[in-house]
């Protein structure tokens, strides 16, 4: 195998690796956006649960009350 053939093989491998790194970078970016969205949803749910607990409303407050027929 000549030196020129070796350089061509190296350039081909490098081009494939650059494509792979770009694809992986895009995937990581998409996953981070999804993680950010899920964290936001979790924070909203926690806040909703805190609001429900503070207001005493919802099923949580009614579970400790005696039914009206007692």
Give the model confidence (pLDDT) of 30-61 as tens digits: 999 999 999 999 999 999 999 999 987 655 55
Only one residue has tokens 């093989």, namely 9
Query: What span, in angstroms and rounded, lies between the C-alpha atoms of 70 and 65?
Result: 11
Give the whole-angstrom CA distance, residue 16 versus residue 69: 75
In the predicted model, what is the mean pLDDT of the chain? 90
Q: How far apart, in whole angstroms, are the C-alpha atoms of residue 41 and residue 47? A: 10
- pTM of the predicted model, to two decimals? 0.64
| Whether 52 contacts 58, CB under 8 Å | yes
DSSP, collapsed to helix, strand or coil, labels residue 67 as: coil
């Amino acid at each position: 195998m000549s030196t020129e053939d070796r350089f061509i093989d190296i350039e081909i491998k490098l081009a494939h690796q650059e494509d792979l790194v770009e694809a992986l970078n895009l995937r990581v970016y998409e996953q981070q956006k999804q993680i950010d969205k899920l964290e936001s949803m979790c924070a909203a749910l926690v806040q909703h649960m805190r609001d429900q607990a503070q207001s005493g409303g919802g099923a949580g407050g009614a579970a400790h009350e005696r039914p009206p027929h007692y």
